[in-house]
Chain A
């Protein structure tokens, strides 16, 4: 296997992009990545695109061909592959792109993610389609409801509180202030979260990531090729995907994210490092409780102590484990299929020293992208 580097990063603005179509959003991110990598465009040999639900959000399937076309890559017949794994679509697209370069099949490829969500009136049911429709959604559970049951059990078993969860939201909003691409560049207070309406008790509106349009693009190259284009390659030391039972009810313990645990263990082994060697993290905070459970399941703390990390400020920029300097899904935005690529892009910017006012000093970074309630997990470790 060859070493694989990220040589270009691009991202559209995330948010309610009323004036931009699906293609506009993708091209704005892609153009930025191509320029960042100093490519002309024709060097691209393949593209992998994470997209959760083009069919339901914009009634467009065959997303792969559409994007190749509007990226100017259909004219040179570049193969294009759309990847779907719920809101882990981006992470899985990145893994597939990585494999295509590591294996020696391709030298330069695009790993992208894109979603246009706001063209439908009510996106909630489509967002919820990552849960088991027959045995979770039918009895009336929602994605928020399932995470709420994890939160309720954590509070019961370990003494965490709604304030602890609110502090995660507050932290992510604070970080997003310094991210020009973020959807919400404004601070909120714990009280704002606590007084927002319940969606599924004990989770509230401001515990949840928003509805967002957006696209994110990375350009990957083999090590030798990467050196020709950039002096600051960031290497993907490992990227591992893992699965768990789709429905919470099938899991032995709903607070244990076994897909995440397995992927983290393998990813650290492949990257030949320990969790303590990683200095910056992007975690999948589709809900605040997801971020807190990731602290525990990734191994930043012991099981049942996630809320203590929040209380002690360890997950802030400047803390021992800075999580979501971008603002995370909560405040940077959650453009579903784009999220896994967006997280990886943030880690690359951080490791290159290009993260501006939200810069964290780190040698290694980790991104954790999950689908639904954790039935898919993608964990990647990057090094500068």
Chain B
């Protein structure tokens, strides 16, 4: 039986994703076993390169927890993120990496349960795909 547990890198906007992560932790909600949280001041700070570097450096899946659209503290951060994730996905197609390995998920500060549920679902989705063959570990 496979023991593969996908490594998930979760970029968390400090205005939404990070408080949601903290709430999930406070509530002692279940999380995937192989998870790395990366706080960012705004999801708009995430460049396409960060997403690819995460995959290259060992992630089997990358998730960005961002604020809901039109709810960005810096107005356009999550809109810019959307474009960059779209561009990263185009590059992933060229490399031959599955689209499921990268996703945005919008949360609010009090979305601890959603945060946990989404990550568990993501781990379930990534497990059958197997390891990211492009990673250089």
Partners in one complex: no
